[in-house]
């Protein structure tokens, strides 16, 4: 009996309130009551707010099972219909078509809707509300707090560090901008300004020759006013010597020279001089060619003292990309240099030359030489007209100055040549151990091959860039190794040329060609038809010969053994 | 199947000449290319095995790097 009044009391307490319960009943009861009280308001709110209508159908049936089983197909629409307000169609689903249609509708309606509402439920109930509350609370608290510290800080910083701020931005942008601008502007300056500076000087006779003449002129300006004479003469000699190679530039240079009033008489005489000079220069070249390996040595030996001044400047301007061009030009220049050196030896004027070189620039040498040979160097053209042997030799000696000027000018020509060859040189150029340049095997070809192999071997055939780079490196190594082997084989056979037999021998040693597989069976397997045809055109015969030889040798050996 | 397009013959000839420093007979480069295809096949085969061992999907650069030394040694005449 005592229990019943307590229960009644509890009920009454619930109605009255929590505080009364706390006073009367035990803690356990309080907690139970709390739990019973608290969820009641919370649950209906949630259901009602988010998915009130949905809960009832989801409780009644499991959505997926009836749909899957055909036997239960009739039930599902009923359930779905029952749950939904569409009550009129309950009679309809007798026909299978209608049943299916209803099913589909129900499914279509269910699945996305449930997802939506679940998501909505989750979002609305737990995180959003709490976060909103939090944000509201925090916003109120932080609004005053947040703006105040940054403002104070900035104000303090700006007030205290005005000087620093001024200093700060200045160094940073110049570093970035200056480095880049220097790089680009320097090149442009090297190319452009000389043209501009010299253009006004030439305007009367300007033709196509302006560009090259500008380059020559720029060089002369950089050195000395005296250098102008030497440079001009040098240009003329350049014409004479390298007519075959680069006619246009030098001819144009010649026009440039002629444009100046002082050298007009030279024009008429040029042809004669050329004829005579060509022979002598050719001889000199021949002598230089005989000496062969000394090119660089001879050049250094003669000009060491002179060129120390000139070379560093012109070598600085050479970009490393243009090594190839530089080499070609040096090769072209070296014979001329040597020719000059030999002529000098013949003339025994080296001592005077070196004395002059030690004193000053190349132009000074020329002048001194002339003074030594001929007392009256003032009238250059007149001397040329006389066409004395001494003059010719003197000219040749000046070729040295010419060569210097050429070498110094060469970097200025290079940009033009570089522009011409820019496309070729974009490819990565590597240098073998023999100093020969070669382009690495193109990556796309390697990739194509590798993908084809990967596909054959049963992969998806995709090759990442890292893999490709690794493969490219491997190919480079492979070709290096193979060519070394082949050259060794050719050398062993006493041949200078690498022949197909060498490759076949290599493949035999690699165990690629065995008794069962010939090079042609491999080629048939691996190579496209075009290459296969080209392979078959010649080497079939060679291979046959090789086989015969092998047979013969074997027989001979046997015979020899027998005889022995 | 083998690729239908040709490989750059001039490039290959140049590389061979550069390394060997000797002139090449007419069709040497084709045979060398044949040898190269065999080499590449070997590399890909080994790399695939290696990558499978390591549990990677496809052929990774690491497996190729691991394998290529051995393959080069295999193809050393």
Quick: pLDDT tens for A157-178.
544 545 555 554 555 555 544 4
Out of A204-208, A236-240, A421-425, A491-495, give the one with best mean pLDDT. A491-495
Q: In terms of Cα–Cα distance, which of A336, A147, A144, A132 is closest to A234?
A: A336
pLDDT computed for residue A109 by the predictor: 74
Give contacts of B30 with chain A, Cβ < 8 Å. 523, 527, 531, 534-535
pLDDT computed for residue A105 by the predictor: 83
Segment B39-54 shows an average pLDDT of: 90
Residues 455-474 (A) with a CB less than 8 A from some CB of B: 457, 459-460, 462-464, 466-467, 469-471, 473-474
Confidence of residue A492 (pLDDT cuts 50, 70, 90): very high
Residue of A487, A504, A505 with shortest CB distance to B20:
A487
Confidence of residue A490 (pLDDT cuts 50, 70, 90): very high
In a domain, B42, yes or no: yes
Of A14-28, A113-127, A229-243, where does mean pLDDT reach its minimum?
A: A229-243
pTM of the model: 0.35
In a domain, B68, yes or no: yes
Higher confidence at residue A224 or residue A387?
A: A224
- Specify the DSSP class assigned to residue A442: P
Task: Give the pLDDT confidence of A203-215 residue by residue, as tens digits.
Answer: 555 555 555 444 5
Answer whether residue A542 shows pLDDT above 70. no
Confidence of residue A229 (pLDDT cuts 50, 70, 90): low
List helix spans (H) across A349-464: 350-359, 362-373, 380-386, 389-426, 443-456
pLDDT computed for residue B77 by the predictor: 76
Asked if A432 reaches chain B (Cβ–Cβ under 8 Å), the answer is yes
Residue of B21, B27, B36 with shortest CB distance to A534:
B27
Say if the Cβ atoms of B71 and A474 lie within 8 Å. Answer: yes
Q: A323 to chain B nearest CA, in Å?
A: 16
pLDDT computed for residue A489 by the predictor: 92
Task: Give the pLDDT confidence of A328-353 residue by residue, as tens digits.
Answer: 444 444 444 444 444 444 444 444 44
Give contacts of A499 with chain B, Cβ < 8 Å. 25, 28
Give contacts of A546 with chain B, Cβ < 8 Å. none
Domain count along chain B: 1
Answer whether residue B32 shows pLDDT above 80. yes
In a domain, B55, yes or no: yes
Asked if A448 reaches chain B (Cβ–Cβ under 8 Å), the answer is yes
Give contacts of A509 with chain B, Cβ < 8 Å. 77
pLDDT computed for residue A386 by the predictor: 44
Q: Is A510 helix (H, G, I), strand (E, B) or coil?
A: coil
Give contacts of A471 with chain B, Cβ < 8 Å. 40, 43, 64, 68
Say if the Cβ atoms of B31 and A507 lie within 8 Å. Answer: yes
- Specify the DSSP class assigned to residue B76: -
DSSP line for A279-344:
HHHHHHHHHHHHHGGGHHHHHHHHHHHHHHHHHHHHHHHS-GGGHHHHHHHHHHHHHHHHHHHHHH
Question: How many angstroms separate the first and last alpha carbons of chain A?
Answer: 134
In a domain, B54, yes or no: yes
The residues with which A437 forms a beta bridge, in sequence order, are A431
Long-range contacts of A534-543 (CB under 8 A, 24+ apart): A534/B27, A534/B30, A535/B27, A535/B30, A535/B31, A535/B34, A537/B27, A538/A500, A538/B26, A538/B27, A539/A500, A539/B27, A539/B31, A542/A499, A542/A500, A542/A501, A543/A500, A543/A504, A543/A518, A543/A519
In a domain, B3, yes or no: no
Residue of B15, B65, B71 with shortest CB distance to A479:
B15
Residue of B25, B26, B52 for testing the chain A interface, max A β-carbons within 10 Å: B25
In a domain, B28, yes or no: no
pLDDT computed for residue A204 by the predictor: 53
Give contacts of A446 with chain B, Cβ < 8 Å. 40
Say if the Cβ atoms of B35 and A512 lie within 8 Å. Answer: yes
In a domain, B51, yes or no: yes
Answer whether residue A148 shows pLDDT above 70. no
- Specify the DSSP class assigned to residue A387: T
Determine the Cα–Cα distance for residues A9 and A199; give it in Å rounded to an integer: 116
Answer whether residue A480 shows pLDDT above 50. yes
In a domain, B71, yes or no: yes
Confidence of residue A269 (pLDDT cuts 50, 70, 90): low
Determine the Cα–Cα distance for residues A80 and A63; give it in Å rounded to an integer: 9
Which two structure tokens, joined as six digits, stand for A554? 């074997």
pLDDT computed for residue A494 by the predictor: 92
Higher confidence at residue B9 or residue A11?
A: B9
Asked if A518 reaches chain B (Cβ–Cβ under 8 Å), the answer is no
Q: Is A69 helix (H, G, I), strand (E, B) or coil?
A: coil
Determine the Cα–Cα distance for residues A145 and A134; give it in Å rounded to an integer: 16
Asked if A509 reaches chain B (Cβ–Cβ under 8 Å), the answer is yes
Segment A504-514 shows an average pLDDT of: 88
Residues 18-47 (B) with a CB less than 8 A from some CB of A: 18-28, 30-41, 43-45, 47
Question: How many angstroms separate the first and last alpha carbons of chain B?
Answer: 27
Q: What helix, strand, coil percent values describe chain B, rounded to 5? A: 70, 5, 30
Say if the Cβ atoms of A434 and B19 lie within 8 Å. Answer: yes
Task: Give the pLDDT confidence of A249-259 residue by residue, as tens digits.
Answer: 444 444 444 44
Asked if A504 reaches chain B (Cβ–Cβ under 8 Å), the answer is yes
Domain limits at B70? 34-77
CB contacts < 8 A, A to B, total 213
Determine the Cα–Cα distance for residues A420 and A426; give it in Å rounded to an integer: 12
Say if the Cβ atoms of A498 and B25 lie within 8 Å. Answer: yes
Answer whether residue A358 shows pLDDT above 80. no
Give contacts of B26 with chain A, Cβ < 8 Å. 538
Contacts of A374 (CB under 8 A, 6+ apart): A383, A390, A391, A394
Task: Give the pLDDT confidence of A407-460 residue by residue, as tens digits.
Answer: 444 444 444 444 444 444 455 677 878 888 888 888 888 888 888 888 888 877
Task: Give the pLDDT confidence of A2-57 residue by residue, as tens digits.
Answer: 444 444 444 444 444 444 444 555 666 676 677 666 655 444 444 444 444 444 44
Give contacts of A535 with chain B, Cβ < 8 Å. 27, 30-31, 34
Mean pLDDT of chain A: 57
Residue of B32, B54, B60, B68 for testing the chain A interface, max A β-carbons within 10 Å: B32
Determine the Cα–Cα distance for residues A410 and A145; give it in Å rounded to an integer: 70
Q: A525 to chain B nearest CA, in Å?
A: 8
Residues 527-556 (A) with a CB less than 8 A from some CB of B: 527-528, 530-531, 534-535, 537-539
């Amino acid at each position: 009996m005592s229990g019943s009044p307590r229960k009644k009391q509890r009920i009454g307490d619930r109605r009255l309130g929590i505080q009364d319960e706390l006073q009367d009943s035990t803690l356990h009861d309080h907690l139970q009551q709390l739990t019973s009280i608290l969820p009641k308001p919370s649950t209906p709110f949630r259901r009602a707010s988010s998915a009130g209508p949905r809960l009832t159908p989801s409780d009644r049936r499991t959505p997926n099972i009836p749909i899957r089983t055909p036997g239960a197909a009739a039930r599902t629409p009923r359930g779905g219909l029952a749950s939904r307000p569409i009550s009129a169609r309950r009679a309809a689903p007798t026909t299978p078509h209608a049943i299916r249609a209803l099913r589909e509708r129900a499914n279509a309606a269910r699945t996305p809707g449930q997802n939506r509402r679940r998501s909505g439920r989750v979002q609305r109930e737990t995180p959003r509300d709490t976060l909103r509350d939090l944000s509201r609370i925090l916003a109120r608290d932080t609004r005053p707090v947040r703006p105040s510290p940054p403002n104070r800080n900035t104000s303090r910083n700006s007030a205290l560090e005005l000087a620093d701020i001024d200093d700060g931005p200045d160094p940073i942008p110049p570093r970035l901008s200056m480095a880049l601008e220097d790089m680009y502007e320097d090149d442009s300056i090297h190319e452009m300004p000389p043209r501009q500076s010299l253009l006004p000087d030439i305007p009367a006779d300007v033709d196509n020759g302006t560009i090259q003449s500008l380059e020559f002129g720029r060089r002369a300006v950089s050195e000395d006013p005296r250098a102008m004479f030497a440079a001009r003469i040098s240009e003329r000699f350049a014409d004479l010597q390298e007519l075959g190679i680069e006619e246009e530039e030098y001819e144009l240079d010649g026009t440039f020279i002629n444009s100046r009033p002082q050298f007009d008489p030279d024009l008429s005489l040029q042809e004669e001089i050329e004829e005579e000079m060509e022979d002598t220069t050719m001889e000199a070249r021949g002598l230089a060619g005989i000496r062969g390996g000394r090119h660089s040595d001879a050049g250094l030996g003669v000009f060491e003292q002179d060129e120390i001044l000139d070379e560093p400047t012109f070598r600085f301007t050479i970009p490393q990309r243009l090594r190839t061009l530089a080499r070609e030009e040096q090769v072209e220049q070296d014979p001329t240099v040597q020719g000059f050196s030999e002529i000098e030896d013949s003339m025994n004027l080296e001592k005077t030359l070196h004395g002059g070189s030690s004193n000053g620039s190349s132009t000074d040498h020329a002048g001194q030489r002339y003074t030594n040979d001929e007392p009256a160097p003032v009238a250059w053209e007149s001397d040329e007209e006389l066409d004395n042997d001494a003059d010719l030799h003197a000219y040749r000696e000046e070729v040295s100055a010419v060569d210097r000027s050429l070498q110094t000018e060469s970097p200025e020509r290079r940009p033009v040549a570089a522009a011409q060859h820019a496309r070729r040189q974009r490819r990565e150029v590597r240098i073998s151990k023999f100093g020969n340049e070669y382009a690495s095997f193109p990556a796309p070809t390697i990739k194509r091959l590798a993908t084809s192999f990967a596909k054959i071997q049963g992969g998806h055939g995709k090759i990442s860039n890292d893999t490709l780079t690794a493969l490219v490196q491997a190919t480079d190594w492979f070709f290096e190794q193979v060519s070394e082997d082949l050259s060794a084989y050719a050398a062993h056979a006493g041949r200078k040329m690498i022949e197909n037999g060498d490759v076949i021998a290599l493949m035999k040693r690699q165990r690629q060609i065995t008794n069962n597989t010939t090079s042609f069976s491999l080629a048939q397997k691996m190579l496209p038809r075009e290459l296969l045809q080209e392979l078959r055109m010649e080497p079939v015969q060679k291979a046959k010969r090789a086989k015969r030889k092998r047979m013969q040798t074997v027989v001979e050996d046997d015979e020899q053994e027998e005889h022995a | 199947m083998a690729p239908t397009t040709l490989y750059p013959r001039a490039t290959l000839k140049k590389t061979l000449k550069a390394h060997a420093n000797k002139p090449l007979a007419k069709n040497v480069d084709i045979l060398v290319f044949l040898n190269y295809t065999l080499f590449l096949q070997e590399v890909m085969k080994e790399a695939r095995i290696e990558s499978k061992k390591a549990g990677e999907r496809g052929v990774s650069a690491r497996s190729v790097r691991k394998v290529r030394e051995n393959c080069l040694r295999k193809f050393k005449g």
